[in-house]
Structure 1
Amino acid sequence: MKAERPSLPQGLSVDNLTPAAVINRNGIIEWSNSSVDVPCLPVGRNISDVVPDLPTDDILGANAQVKVHIDGVEYLLTSYPDIDQQTTVVLLENIDVLKARLSFYIDHYEILQGLLDSPYEGYAYVDEHGVIRYVNNTLAKYFNLSVDQIVGLNHKDFPLDENLDQVLKTREIKPLGVVTGVGNKRAIGSIRPVYRNGRFAGALGRYFSIDIKDITKFGGEYLNLVASMELREIIADIDAIMMQLHSYREEFQRRHAARFSVDNIVGKSFMMQDLKRKVLKISKSPSSVLIMGESGTGKELFAQAIHFHSDRSSHPLVMVNCAAIPESLLESELFGYVEGAFTGARKGGKLGKFELANQGTIFLDEIGDMPLSMQAKLLRVLQDRQIERVGGERPVPVDVRVISATNKDLATLVKEGSFRADLYYRLNVVTLHIPPLRERKEDLPDLVDYIISVMNTKLRRNVIGVTEEAMDLLMRHNWPGNVRELINVLEAAMNFCGGALIDVKDLPSFLQSYKDEPADIDKDATYLQARIDNAEKKELVSVLEQCHGNRKVAAEVLGVSKATLWRLMKKHGLL
C-alpha cells in the first residue's frame, strides 16, 4: 500500500506530471508520486541510491538546485525544506523538457514583441513594486524618449499614468478612459492587473494617443481603430505571456538564494559564537558590511548567512569575484550595457550584477583587487543608489545591500594609494573579522567530523572519523590555507584510507613529519590538560550512565557527532 503523502511546505503543490518525493533528514524516501516519467523513487530507499551523483548534504533541509543523472538522463533536482526542516520535498525535471519549454516561451516572446510594436498603440508593463519593466517604441515616442531611457524608472518618478497607483493598490481593472499626462498628451488608456499563479505581478497599460498631431499623422484608419475599442479587447494573451516572463525572474531569484544560515557555520569556539551573534544582529540592517579574513576562512559563508537572515532573503544574493573578472569587462559585468554599446554587445543589451541583485544583496568578494577606475564608479553607486549601463544615457535606480570581502588590509592599501579612502569608509560600516583556523583550533574536531560527512557523499565512502594520533598531528599544524586546506587534506586522506578511521599513514607527508617533533608543552600546560581530561572523562561517564550506554542518545545530549563520541570514549579508555 502506497504511503500517504506528508504535508508539503506552504505554497508548494505537486502533481503526477512532475516526479516528486518527500525525504527525511536521513535521506530516506517517505513518499513519492506515481510520475509517468521517472517511476523509480521507491518509498523506503535512500535517495542517494536512486540518484548516485546527488550531493545529499547540500539538499537536506535546504533550498537548492542541482543537476543529476538517472539512468543516463539529465534532470534538474530542486529541493524545498519543510518549515521545521524535518523533511524535504524534491522535484525532478527533465533538462531536455525544460530547454524545449524555454525555447517555446522565447519564440512566443518574439511574436509578442511584434504585436506590441504597433505604430498606433502604446504599451507599458509596471511590476508590483512600481518599476517600469517594459514600454514599446510607440509609447516611448509619446515622450520623445528612447525605450532605454524609460525602462527601470519608478512610475512615481515618471509621468506615465496617474491611474497606475490606484491599480497597484486595489489590483482592479481601470477601464477605458481619457488619460492626461502620457508624455503631456491626452490619450485613451486602460490598465489591468497582472497575476502569475494567483500572485499579483504588476499592471499592464494600453494607450492610444488622441493628440491632434498624432490623429493628423495616422489619419482616418487610426480614428476608426480608436472609436471601435472595447474593454474586451484588452489583451488577455499578453497578460498570460507577461506572467510566464515574470516567472523567469522568480526562477533567477531561487537560483541566487542564500543556502546557508548561521547554523551551517561549524564552530563552537568563543570567537565563532560571537561572530554568529553579530551576524544575527546586523542581518536586518541595511548597512554595508566588510568581511575581512585570510583566504580559506569561509568569508562567503558569512555573507550567505547575513543575507539568509535578512529581510531581503526572498530576493537574490548575487556574488561577484572582483579578482576573477578582467578589468576591461568589470564595468559591464557590474552595471550592464545597452544594445550597441561596443563591438560584440548582445542584442537587446545585458543587465548588470547590481540590477540582478535589485532589492536583494550583492557580495563583492576580493574587493581589494578592484581597479582604482572602477572604485570611483562603485563609490558613485553607493552614494546615489543608481547605476548607469555602459552606453546608456540615463541612470537606473537600484536598491541593493552591499557586502564586500577581502583577504587584504584595506587600511594599508589606502595608505599606499591603491584603494580609495572614501570607498573604504563607505564599505567599512560594519566589519566582521573571520579568525584563521590556527587561532580557533578547538573547532578543528567538529570541522573534521563535518568535512568527513560531506566527503563521504562525494567520495562514496563510509569513514567515521580520525584516530587520536592523526588528530594530534592535525592539531599541531598551523593551517596557513585555513579550512580550505583542511578540506583538501581530509579529501586526500579519505582516498588513501582503507578502514573506518583516518590514520597517521593516510595523512600527507608534511603532516606525518610532526611525529618526529617533540611536543612543546611545559609542565603547567601538562597539568592543566590533565585536569581538563579528567573533567571530560567524568562528564562522558555521567552522560553514558544516564543514557544506559546508548551512544546515539549520549552523542545528542553532549551535542557532538557519533564519531566524536567514539573518539572521546577511546581516548579515555571507555570502549
Structure 2
Amino acid sequence: MNENLEKEIEFYRKIMELSHSGIAGVDNEGRIILFNQAAADFLKVPVKEAIGKLVTEVNPAAGLSKVLEEKSVQRDQLRKVGQRTAIISRAPIHYKGELIGAISSVRDITELQQYEETFRRKMIHQGLRAKFSLDQIVGTSKRMERLIGLAEKYAAADSTLLVQGESGTGKEMIAQGIHIASRRKGGPFVAVNCAALPESLLESELFGYEEGSFTGARKGGKAGLFEMAHKGTIFLDEIGELPLLLQARLLRVLQEREVMRIGGSKMIPVDVRIIAATNRNLIQLIHEGDFREDLYFRLAVLVLKVPSLRERLEDIPCLVESFLKEWRKAGSIQVTEEDIRRLQTYTWPGNIRELKNLLERALVLTEDGEPLQLFNSDVWISAEHPSRANKDQPSDQNISEEEIEDLRIKRILAEEDGHIGKAASRLGIHRSTLWRKLKNLK
C-alpha cells in the first residue's frame, strides 16, 4: 500500500511540475505545503522560499486565507497581480469531514490578453473605427453649442448614453465624436443598425455563435459585435426597432457586462461602452408594450437630444458652406443670401441629410461656370407633408425678402404653439421685436 501510495504521489508531483498553471496548496493554518514552478514564476518567489511560509507572507493579497475562513469555492476569478493578469480558482480540501487545507490554481492570461488587444487593434484598421470628431460637427447656433458642450462632458464619462433625434440629424456622427474624445479612442468603434437586419441574423451579429450552433454556421464559430467592440464603443442605431427577445439579451449585457454566443455555454466578459440612438419615442413604445421599461432606464443614464434642422435654421449658411467645400474647391461656387433665406423658410423633414442631398443634386445638374440653381423643378424636391406645406414655400417664383421673413415667423410661431419667448429665441430677436413684426404681418 505504501509503495502504491508513493507511486501515486509521484504521478501528482509530475503533474504539478509540468502544469502551465500555478498551483499552491496550504494546510489548515495557511502554511504553504505545495508550490510548483509555474506559481513561483508568476509570483516571482522561488519554490524553496515559499514552502513552509504563511501564504500571506509570500502574497499578502492571497485569497486562500479567505477560502480557509469561509470554506468557500471560488471559480474563474479575474485578478491583477502587478503587471500580470490571471484567472484564479480556489477550493477548500476536506478529509473525513475535517478541513485540512486549501488549494489554488492560477492561470496567467497576460499574453492572451495582449494577443487579443493586438487582434482588436487590427480590426480597427480594417474599418471598426470612428471617423468624425466633435470639432468637425458644423453649427454655430446656441442649440449646437450646448449640444457639443454636453457631448464633451459625456465623452469624459463611461456611462451608457441614449442619443435622441429625428432621422438625418447626425446622431451617429455625434456618437463617433464622443468615442474619439473619450478614453476609449484607441479602441474599436462598432456601429450596427438594429432595423437593417432580420431578428435571427441580428442576434448572431450582436452576440456571435459557436460552431455547429445552426445550419450554415461558420466553422470555428464567430465573434459577435460586442466582443469585437471590447475596450471600445458599440453604437446601436435605431434601438427602438430591436425585437423584445433581443432587448432581454441586451439588458443582460448592460447588467453583467458579459455575453454568451448562440450555442455557447460560457459567458464572455466584455469591456464596452454602449451608445444607443433612436428617432422614436421610447416612452410611447413602452406603453404600447414594444419596448422594455427596465432596458430604457438602463440605456438612458445619459441622454443627448440632437435638434432637428428646423430648430437650428441659423446653421444653414455654415452647413451649405461646409458641404460645398467638401465637394468643390472653396470659393468656386457660392449660394446667394436670398437663396439662404429661402432655404430657411422650409421645414426640412429630412433634416441635414435632405439639405445635403439637395446641394449634391444641384451640383450635378449645374454646368461649370453657371450659378447654383437650388429651386428649379429638377433640383427642388419637397419632402414636406402636405398638411404642413405652405403654398408659398421655396419655388422658382420670385418672392420678396419681407415675404420670406413673414413665412418664417409664422412657421416658427406655429411650431412653438404661439409661445412668443421660444419663437423669438429661435428667430434670434428680442420679444418686443417679434411683437412689432407680428403687428405688421399681412
Q: Please, what TM-score do these two structures have when normalized by structure 1? A: 0.49
Give 1:503's aligned amino acid: Q
1:413 to 275, 285, 297: 285
C-alpha contact (below 8 Å) 2:375/2:396 kept by paired residues: no
- SS state of the match for residue 296, structure 1? coil
What is the rounded CA distance, in whole Å, between the counterparts of 1:403 and 1:159 in structure 2? 28
Cα distance change of structure 1 residues 465 and 516 upon mapping to structure 2, 3 Å threshold: closer
Structure 2: gaps spanning 5 or more residues? 1-17, 22-41, 43-73, 94-102, 383-393, 410-423, 430-442
Deviation, structure 1 residue 497: 1.9
- Alpha-carbon spacing, 1:344–1:470, altered in 2? closer, same or farther (3 Å): same
Of 323, 326, 344 in structure 2, the residue corresponding to residue 475 of structure 1 is 344
Q: Equivalent residue for 1:266?
A: 138
Partners in 2 of 1:520 and 1:340 — Cα distance? 65
Secondary structure, aligned partner of 1:502: coil
Task: Select which of 348, 354, 363 maps to 1:485.
Answer: 354
**How far is 1:358 from its partner?**
1.1
- Alpha carbons of structure 1 residues 190 and 360: separation in structure 2 relative to 1, 3 Å: closer
Query: Residues 387, 492 of structure 1: CA spacing in aligned structure 2 closer, same or farther, 3 A cutoff?
Result: same
1:66 aligned partner: none
TM superposition shift of 1:471:
2.2
Of 360, 385, 388, which residue of structure 1 is paired with 2:257?
A: 385
1-side partners of 2:83 and 2:339: how far apart?
67
1:453 pairs with 2:325: yes
Which amino acid in structure 2 is aligned with residue 322 of structure 1? C
1:376-403 deviation per Cα after TM superposition (whole angstroms, max 9, x unaligned): 1111111111111100111111111110
Give RMSD over aligned pairs. 3.8
Amino acid of the structure 1 residue aligned with 2:121:
E
The superposition leaves residues 517-546 of structure 1 with CA deviations (integer Å, 9 ceiling, x where unpaired) of 6725459x8xx9xxx99xxxxxxxxxxxxx
* Partner residue of 1:250 out of 121, 125, 134: 121
Higher RCO (C-alpha under 8 Å, 6+ residues apart): 2
Distance 1:327 1:500, change over 3 A: same
SS of the residue 1:291 aligns to: strand
Pairwise mapping of residues 210-359 of structure 1 onto structure 2 (< 5 A)? 247-254=118-125, 255-359=127-231
Question: Which of 357, 373, 379 is the aligned partner of 1:508?
Answer: 379
Structure 1 residues 328 and 189, CA gap change in structure 2 (3 angstroms): closer
Distance (whole Å) between structure 2 residues aligned to residue 360 and residue 316 of structure 1: 5
Cα distance in structure 2, aligned partners of 1:391 and 1:267: 47
Tell whether the 8 Å contact from 2:76 to 2:89 is kept in structure 1 after alignment.
no
Tell me the residue number matched to 1:158.
Answer: 76
Is the 8 Å Cα contact of residues 165 and 307 (structure 2) preserved in structure 1?
A: yes
Look at both structures and tell me which one has the larger radius of gyration over its CA atoms.
2
Q: Is the 8 A contact 1:463 1:502 kept in 2?
A: no
SS at the partner of 2:162?
A: strand
Structure 1's unaligned 5+ residue stretches are 1-120, 125-129, 131-155, 170-178, 194-201, 206-241, 534-575
- 1:368 deviation in Å? 0.5
Tell me if structure 2 keeps the 8 A contact 1:287–1:401: yes
Which residue of structure 1 lines up, in the alignment, with residue 10 of structure 2? none
Q: Select which of 155, 168, 182 maps to 2:84.
A: 168
Task: Confirm whether residue 438 of structure 1 aligns to residue 307 of structure 2.
Answer: no
Q: Does 1:395 align with 2:251?
A: no
Distance 1:521 1:203 in 2: 66
**Cα separation, 1, equivalents of 2:244 and 2:104:** 49
Q: Deviations over 1:133-168 (max 9, x none)?
A: xxxxxxxxxxxxxxxxxxxxxxx96279x9x94672
Aligned length: 318
- Whether contact under 8 Å (2:276, 2:299) holds in the other structure is yes
Whole-angstrom distance in 2 between the partners of 1:423 and 1:159: 28
Describe the shift of the 1:122–1:347 C-alpha distance in structure 2 as closer, same or farther (beyond 3 A): farther
Asked if the contact 2:169/2:352 (under 8 Å) is kept, the reply is yes
Please state if 1:203 is matched with 2:111. Answer: yes
Aligned partners of 2:268, 2:159: CA distance in 1, in Å? 21
Q: Judging changes above 3 Å, is the alpha-carbon distance between structure 1 residues 313 and 339 closer, same or farther for their aligned structure 2 residues?
A: same
Alpha carbons 2:90, 2:105 under 8 Å: kept: no
Q: Would you say the 8 A contact 1:283–1:306 is kept in 2?
A: yes
Measure how far apart 1:443 and its partner are. Answer: 0.2
Contact 1:463 1:494 in 2 (8 A): no
322 and 455 in structure 1: CA distance in 2 versus 1, 3 angstrom threshold: same
Please give the alpha-carbon distance, in whole angstroms, between the structure 1 residues aligned to 2:212 and 2:19.
Answer: 24
Contact 2:164–2:171, Cα closer than 8 Å, also in 1: yes
2:355 counterpart letter in structure 1 = L
CA distance in 2, matches of 1:515, 1:439: 26
Using the alignment, how far apart are the partners of 2:169 and 2:193 within structure 1? 16
Q: Name the amino acid aligned to 1:381.
A: V
The equivalent of 1:43 in structure 2 is none
Q: Distance in 1 between matches of 2:106 and 2:233?
A: 37
Q: Which amino acid aligns with 1:317?
A: F
**Shift, 1:181, TM fit:** 7.7
Q: What is the DSSP-based 3-state SS (H/G/I as helix, E as strand, rest coil) of the residue aligned with 1:363? A: strand
Aligned pairs for 1:169-184 within 5 A: none
Q: Is this contact kept in 1: 2:77–2:89, CA < 8 A? A: no
Is the CA contact (8 Å cut-off) linking 2:251 and 2:295 kept in structure 1? yes
Displacement after TM superposition at 1:267 (Å): 0.2
Q: How far does residue 287 in structure 1 lie from its aligned partner after superposition?
A: 1.2
Maintained 8 Å contact 1:448/1:465: no
Query: CA–CA distance in 2 between the matches of 1:485 and 1:279?
Result: 24
Q: Contact 1:462–1:500 (CA<8 Å) still a contact in 2?
A: no
Write the letter of the residue equivalent to 1:261.
S
- 1:484 & 1:522 partners in 2: Cα distance? 26
Give, as a single letter, the amino acid of the residue that structure 1 aligns with 2:151: V
**TM-score (structure 2 length as normaliser):** 0.63
CA contact 2:120–2:228 (8 Å) conserved in 1: no
Q: Percent identity?
A: 44
Please tell me whether the aligned partners of residues 20 and 107 of structure 2 are also in contact (alpha carbons under 8 angstroms): no
CA gap of 1:280–1:338, structure 2 versus 1, over 3 A, is same
